[in-house]
Structure 1
Amino acid sequence: MTPSARLAASIDLLAAMEAAPRKPADAVANSFFRERRYIGGGDRRAISGLVWDVMRGWRRLSWWLQKQNLPVSARLLCGARLVLDGMAVSAVANLYAEGRYATGVLERHEWDGFIAMQDKPLDSPDMPRAVRLELPDWLLPRLEETFGPALETEVKALSGEAPLDLRVNTLLADRAEARKALAREGLHAEPTPHSPWGLRLEGRLPVTASVPFRDGRVEIQDEGSQLVAAMTAAGPEMRVLDYCAGAGGKTLAMAMMMNNRGHIVACDVSEPRLDGAVRRLRRAGVHNVERHLLGVTGDKWAKRRAASFDRVLVDAPCSGTGTWRRNPDARFRTTETDLAELLVKQAAIMDRASALVRPGGRMIYATCSLLKAENADQVHAFLARHPDFRLVPSEAPDLPESLRHESMISLTPARDETDGFFGAVMERVPTQDEASTSQA
């Protein structure tokens, strides 16, 4: 593709994302490129790179365009990003060409606006703090509550590009073996700093085409997600419930921890997500997992299995603020109303899931959020409603020593080099009658 055609495709992709605000940007991009198979790998990377750069600077770019009385449009956001990244306006203008695969020449007022931006930094001291930090206005005070003086450092890390983390499937290989197998395919991975199963690659690399991925020796999973699975301390003889299993990432990790023994039930309200787990389970050689589709209202299955699980993992639906490195569009897709609805849903899920924990068993509540309202506040509210539960240290052997004795764990990109994750371990305290029955 010509440089002009790449710019035009970037603008088209960005416009497609704007037209589907409730759909994740990566899903829109996948559909966009699938419908345009003539776009080669190098062109796809260049187009995606510009689009993701625009999304990471959306509020600042919009501020600059508005300052020049220009409309905030996909067409001008892409050009503004190039100019503010240091490209000469004359060179940018050459990309705005006429033709079937081009985006049309710059109009005079667009040219003048770009000239006014030339040699300016993307960040301006005149920007409101929320704009400079790429945050919705309503979210700024919530993140200030979470991070305090460390806010700018943490938000800057959230705006960076995430590495590609893999989890070695120890049912089929150890970390050294998997690392060598990846290296034979030109994928040079380093051990992650916290997870005993993690390997890290920098940049977007074709891992899914590699032999170690295809034969199940590695899975794509952020190190933070691996540590949440480790918090369960799931063992070979346990009955384990993954209550919000989705496509089964943490289910796979727990099955590995259990050495393919015991019994795991992977639940979700989405049949397509559960169906998507089948292929992953098969590839990983996992056979101790049963799937169950949860009913929207009531579930006889759950009533029959009340108080029967040793571990219940509740990986609750959340705002996803901890995943912004991978999903920069998500920071503007979630509204304050969405958060209020999520808080109600999270509390209801915890209440339902807790009924499945046996006396002496544990519920692990987790999110990929950085917000106190979704994390510690939810846990304390649950404990107030359920005095038969208490916070306990995880003591999970696969956690690093620094985290092993904590009952609540928060992970952040700046401090821990993971996505943002939260996890809390709560034990159901047996009543005197239950304790007596157990001892008998």
Structure 2
Amino acid sequence: MRLPPAILANTEEVLREILRFTSPADTTLSRYFKDHPRLGSRERGAVAEGIYAILRNKSFFTDFAEAGQSPTMRRLTILGLAEAVGVDSLGGLTEEETEFLNRIAQIDRTLMPAQMQSNLPKWLFDKFVAQYGEAETLALAHALNQPAPLDLRVNTIKATRDEVVARLLEAPIAAEPTPYAPLGLRVLKKPSLQNLPLFKEGAIEVQDEGSQVLAQIVGAKRGEMVVDFCAGAGGKTLALGALMRNTGRLYAFDVSEKRLAKLKPRLARSGLSNVHPVQIAHERDAKVKRLAGKIDKVLVDAPCSGLGTLRRNPDVKWRQKETAIAEMQEKQAAILDGAARLLKGGGRLIYATCSLLDEENDWIVEQFLKQHEEFTLVPMHQVLAEQKIDLEMGDYLKMLPHKHHTDGFFAAVLERKPLPPRPPKPVEGEDVAADADAADAADA
């Protein structure tokens, strides 16, 4: 069944707005659909998939869209929709445009220059090549250029993984266990989940398998005090709360009131009562300082370039600027330094990003360890063995789309050395003030 010709005009209209790169593509699409309520679900799906196809293949498409009789923006639109829904589903094409699409379909993209094959901006392609080599960069870029699968996390407060699989089949929705995350399911298609009883009851949450593994390596246990330092909308927070079996105290810190507001309905569905959302002004907020030296585990999922999420957010590679990486590094180092103060002796600090660049990952951790002798690196292979996760890693967690079929994630586990014992309480006649000063120094 062909799409109505008007879909070409709708897609071109929203494409013009998205290519200004003034806001995330999903935000712009959401606003557009709200302003155009007459578009049905099939039409909205075609527009969205067409837009994402253009963003994924922008280098390749732009090169060919600029050479032709019809306007460049219309050609871009046609290329994106043809990639997303197929030429036969498009209505309203001229004979010249149909011939154009058939000609493009015959091109062997593997014979094109490597950067054009990658569909990455030059600065990012060059960084990836320097870090991974050209062959692996092309494999990585190809994986980043595919739509991400739909992964779910089972909330063990409400159900077991087997129970969820059985109930999904009744829908009917086919899902299979994820290979690494012990509570993950990969849905084989992309059905709407919002109206499913399982979703409304809080038995499932949408969460990429890599993000689930990250929550798992925190090692949060029953009765502990844990902080999710950059909680955002709380996907990892909810995973941590369930791992703690709804005991202890779990603080969800974030500087954004809007992001924390998105956590509230998810928290209500989850059945968790051990989560405490807290808005902070910055990493040295008084609310943070009050917990200094009291926390068992701190997860810092730091703000980053987001380059590991290009399967879901292909516009990021075009919106993100090379100059922003240095600014990110400064912010990441400051947040990690502030979060480190929370930990008690023997506590663990988990630094993570969804970036693929060493500059935001290894470099930040190495710089931190040079400046904080009270912390040591716990090799990731040891942490994964503790959590019984069958993943081969060295010192760090590095999950890559072309190897692990997840978003790109980095993590390092840093452990605070045990604090020196407090001096004995003074006996009568000793200098109490001097002993107090010594105790304060030991805590510093």
Match of 1:46 in 2: 46
Greater displacement, 158-167 / 5-14: 5-14
Q: 1:87 deviation in Å? A: 7.5
Match of 1:10 in 2: 11
Find the residue that maps to 1:312 and give its secondary structure. strand
Q: 1:10 deviation in Å? A: 1.4
Which structure 1 residue ranges, 5 or more long, are not aligned?
Answer: 97-104
Q: 1:131 deviation in Å? A: 2.2
Q: Distance in 2 between matches of 1:304 and 1:87?
A: 58
Q: Distance in 2 between matches of 1:307 and 1:86?
A: 55
Q: 1:312 to 1:200 in 2, by over 3 A?
A: same
Once the two structures are superposed, what CA deviation does each residue of 1:219-269 show, in whole Å capped at 9, x if it has no partner? 000000000000100001210000000011101000000000011000000
Amino acid at match of 2:116: V
Q: 2:225 touches 2:296 (CA, 8 Å); kept in 1?
A: yes
Query: Aligned runs of 1:113-152 on 2, under 5 Å?
Result: 114=100, 117-118=103-104, 120-121=106-107, 123=109, 125=111, 127-148=112-133, 149-152=135-138
Q: Distance in 2 between matches of 1:258 and 1:83?
A: 47
Pairing partner for 1:417 from 402, 405, 408: 405
Q: 1:387 deviation in Å? A: 1.4
Q: Distance in 2 between matches of 1:226 and 1:85?
A: 29
Find the residue that maps to 2:19 and give its secondary structure. helix
Q: 1:84 touches 1:119 (CA, 8 Å); kept in 2?
A: no
Find the residue that maps to 1:95 and give its secondary structure. coil
TM-score by structure 2 length? 0.87
Match of 2:57 in 1: 57
Q: 1:413 deviation in Å? A: 1.2
Greater displacement, 141-150 / 156-165: 141-150
Q: Distance in 2 between matches of 1:401 and 1:422?
A: 17
Q: 1:308 deviation in Å? A: 1.3
Match of 1:395 in 2: 383
Pairing partner for 1:340 from 284, 303, 326: 326
Q: Distance in 2 between matches of 1:55 and 1:356?
A: 41
Q: 1:227 touches 1:399 (CA, 8 Å); kept in 2?
A: no
Q: 1:116 deviation in Å? A: 9.9
Q: Distance in 1 between matches of 2:31 and 2:65?
A: 29
Q: Distance in 1 between matches of 2:182 and 2:318?
A: 34
Find the residue that maps to 1:170 and give its secondary structure. coil
Once the two structures are superposed, what CA deviation does each residue of 1:67-86 show, in whole Å capped at 9, x if it has no partner? 5598642x220124467899
Does residue 229 of the first structure (1) align with residue 218 of the second (2)? Answer: no
Match of 1:95 in 2: 92
Q: Distance in 2 between matches of 1:181 and 1:60?
A: 43
Q: 1:378 deviation in Å? A: 1.1
Q: 1:407 deviation in Å? A: 4.1
Match of 1:327 in 2: 313
Query: Aligned runs of 1:172-251 on 2, under 5 Å?
Result: 172-251=158-237
Q: 2:139 touches 2:402 (CA, 8 Å); kept in 1?
A: yes
Find the residue that maps to 1:207 and give its secondary structure. coil
Amino acid at match of 2:404: D
Greater displacement, 59-68 / 207-216: 59-68
Amino acid at match of 1:145: A
Q: 2:46 touches 2:84 (CA, 8 Å); kept in 1?
A: no
Q: 1:195 touches 1:399 (CA, 8 Å); kept in 2?
A: no
Amino acid at match of 2:224: M
Amino acid at match of 1:77: L
Match of 1:255 in 2: 241
Q: 1:69 to 1:424 in 2, by over 3 A?
A: farther
Q: 1:435 deviation in Å? A: 11
Kindly tell me the number of residue pairs found equivalent between the two proteins: 421
Pairing partner for 2:261 from 275, 293, 313: 275
Q: 1:128 deviation in Å? A: 3.8
Q: 1:200 to 1:86 in 2, by over 3 A?
A: closer
Q: 1:22 deviation in Å? A: 3.3
Once the two structures are superposed, what CA deviation does each residue of 1:182-238 show, in whole Å capped at 9, x if it has no partner? 111111111111111000113331012211011000000000000000010000121
Which structure 2 residue ranges, 5 or more long, are not aligned?
Answer: 425-438
Q: 1:367 touches 1:421 (CA, 8 Å); kept in 2?
A: yes
Q: 2:50 touches 2:82 (CA, 8 Å); kept in 1?
A: no
Q: 1:144 deviation in Å? A: 1.7
Q: 2:283 touches 2:338 (CA, 8 Å); kept in 1?
A: no
Q: 2:117 touches 2:138 (CA, 8 Å); kept in 1?
A: no
Find the residue that maps to 1:341 and give its secondary structure. helix
Amino acid at match of 1:247: A
